[in-house]
Chain A
Amino acid sequence: MLSWEFPPRIVGGIASHVYNLSRHLARTGVDTYVVTCDFPGAPEREEVDGVHVVRVDSYTTPSSDFATWDYLMNVNMQEEAATIISDLNGRVDLIHAHDWLVANAAIGLKHIFRVPLVATIHSTEIGRRNGLHTNYERMIHQTEAWLAHEAWKVACCSRYMASHIQWAFGLPENKVVMIPNGIDADIFKQDFNKREFRSKFASPDEKIVLFVGRLVYEKGVHVLINAIPMVLARVNAKFVIVGDGYMRGSLMGRVRNMGLAHKIFFTGFLDEQSLPFLYQCADVCVVPSLYEPFGITAVEAMAAGVPVVVSDTGGLAEIVEHDKTGVEVFANNAESLAWGITRVLLSPSYAELIRLNAYRKVLETYNWSKIAEKTKILYQWICDEYQAGSWKPM
């Protein structure tokens, strides 16, 4: 498995996905190697929960831009992975690449060893940027398309993404497989002093409305800010906004101009230990994204037992069933969002119902053991097709 991030190197969501997927695959008996980038203090080679983790020199010489750095990092990743596979006498059944960030290395290894390649596409450039506007964006898009084309099967985490990547890369329907993303529900079972922890964020008479995500346009946090006065007109609440991003300065400025600085708490990035506690203190969790391939924060909130209000877009619309496992509101619509938030905060029995249903759904669907089983079935399917074919090292 190739991934540009793996704990302790955590940049986005791929690190946690690859960590959980690989260790649950190892539990099901799949001999799993993860080749990833180095990180200060992390060993070059180690075994993590039965997974062989190899960290390669991530190319630290200055580069002109992120994509050029990434391609140079891929040179090191491919050379190191080639040595690992060669040391295993080429006996690797499958290479699994996560996103375009490791496309070059994965494609090179596929051809050199003639091993099938499976790619998980977590999100797309055309989706992240809402179109392709520069050569930089077009290059990343074409690298994603190249990876999707070279892969035996392409995995993605929602039906929305399956249809999106078929459209974006012109893929046949039977090349795309939907396997949901998962979460580790156990992290929400730790004991902590709830009253004391909660008091860091809100006074006892305030409900907590929680947002977790990057402060970027596609996450729709500006829609939440616009909804706040409408919520406060009916409920006394504190809005806790976790995360950072290029919109942070302008959002904080807007909040000051609205005279609401005392009702909104921008925490910045929160450490891994505190975030599960904060979820458990929240009265409602809001995911107002405009573009969302999956929507892991909604699943995290559901696992923590917090009612969720989400926009009816992308993967979110599949995770949440309106009035059953959460509240769905119109995307990019502050009035609708305010309606959803007040509906949960003003009706404790309704909040309790969707909270319990949501928790059950998380255990049934977004459970890493089940996701690893599904992934193993996909691997087996590819290996069977590969065995029946003639493209092999001769």
Chain B
Amino acid sequence: MNKLAVELVKKNVDTYVVTYHNSWIGQHEGANGVKAYRVSNPVKAQLNILTWDLTLNQEVERVAADIYYSVQRKVDLIDAHDWHFTPAAVSLKRALGIPFVFSVDSLENHRSHGSNAPLSLSIKSLESSGANEAERVVVKSDWMKQEVNQIYKTPLEKIEVVSPDSLTWIDEILNAYKKALASSNSRILGRGLG
């Protein structure tokens, strides 16, 4: 994640990372030009990873909205990594018209060995919403592209493969972002990515 953000900055993409930290919260801009915003969970007592995640999403939305309004609404795209913040990505897209890319590192089906326990089913429903509401899904291998297509019925043409071993991976990611922007019905025009 850090590597991606740093390389995006080098490509002149104004990049904000919204993430979690239990105590080191607030804004931090590193020498590499990445602006990181860390939020903590307002609800400290939790039952499971899902309750923790679904009370953290609103803090992510708060900070994302603060960034959006502080840059005069000129946010081109959101890149959501794995299932945790797909609820925030979907709400921000529906509310503010910001398209999003769903980047898949791993899927619950593989992590839980096909479990149908309630927790796994719920995580799968969040992955499904990410895979189907995103303008583009970015995966790391052709195998994962097939898996996303089979499990979540996401059309193959919506799924971009960017191998971490590729020498031009950052350009390929930028290309996926541009495709997401082009396919979005958003009123917001590309800035920095155009």
Interface residues of A in 39-89 (CB under 8 A from B): 59, 61-65, 67-68, 71-72, 74-75, 78-79, 82-83, 85-86
- B119 partner, pick from A64, A67, A109, beta carbons under 8 A: A64
Contact of B61 among A112, A138, A394 (CB under 8 A): A112
A109 to B46, CA, bound (A): 22
B121 touches A104 (CB 8 A): no
Check A138–B45 contact: CB distance below 8 A: yes
Q: B95 near A112 (CB under 8 angstroms)? A: yes
Is the C-beta of A108 less than 8 angstroms from some C-beta in chain B? yes
Whether, in the assembled complex, A376 has its beta carbon less than 8 Å from a beta carbon of chain B, the answer is no
**In the bound complex, what is the Cα–Cα distance between A357 and B95 (angstroms)?**
51
Within 8 A of A (CB), among B98-126: 117-119, 121-122, 125-126
Name the contact of A61 in the complex, choosing from B72, B88, B95, B125 (C-beta under 8 A).
B125
Report if A112-B92 is in contact (Cβ < 8 Å); known contacts: A71-B50, A72-B54, A75-B54.
yes
A159 within 8 A of B: no
Interface residues on A, range: 35 or more
Q: Which residues of A contact B21 (CB under 8 A)?
A: none
Residues of A contacting B167 in the complex (Cβ-Cβ under 8 angstroms)? none
Would you call B94 an interface residue if the criterion is a C-beta within 8 Å of the partner chain's C-beta atoms? yes
Within 8 Å of chain A (Cβ to Cβ): is B43? yes
CB-CB contacts of A107-133 with B at 8 A, as 1s and 0s? 111011110000000000000000000
Indicate whether B33 reaches chain A with its CB closer than 8 angstroms: no
> Which of A139-147, A200-208, A316-324, A347-355 makes up part of the contact surface?
A139-147
- B121–A62 CB distance below 8 A: yes
From known contacts A62-B121, A104-B57, A112-B92, infer whether A135 and B65 are also in contact, taking CB-CB under 8 Å. Answer: no
Contact in complex: A75, B126 (CB < 8 Å): yes
Instruction: Say what secondary structure dominates the interface of chain A.
Output: helix
Write out the residue numbers on chain A whose beta carbons fall within 8 Å of the beta carbon of B117: 64
A67 with B47, Cβ < 8 A, contacts A75-B126, A104-B58 known: yes
- Known contacts: A104-B57, A111-B62, A111-B65. The answer to whether A61 contacts B94 by CB under 8 A is no
Q: Are B62 and A67 in contact, with the CB atoms below 8 A?
A: no
Is B183's CB within 8 Å of the partner chain A? no
B72 nearest in chain A by CB position? A394
8 Å CB contact of B50 from A72, A136, A143: A72
10 A–B pairs (Cβ distance < 8 Å), ordered by A: A63-B122, A64-B117, A75-B126, A86-B94, A108-B91, A109-B95, A111-B58, A114-B69, A139-B51, A146-B55
Q: Which residues of A contact B (CB under 8 A)?
A: 59, 61-65, 67-68, 71-72, 74-75, 78-79, 82-83, 85-86, 104, 107-109, 111-114, 135-136, 138-139, 141-143, 146, 149, 393-394
Q: Which 9 residue pairs spanning A and B have beta carbons closest together?
A: A138-B45, A71-B54, A111-B62, A82-B95, A82-B94, A108-B58, A139-B45, A142-B43, A64-B118
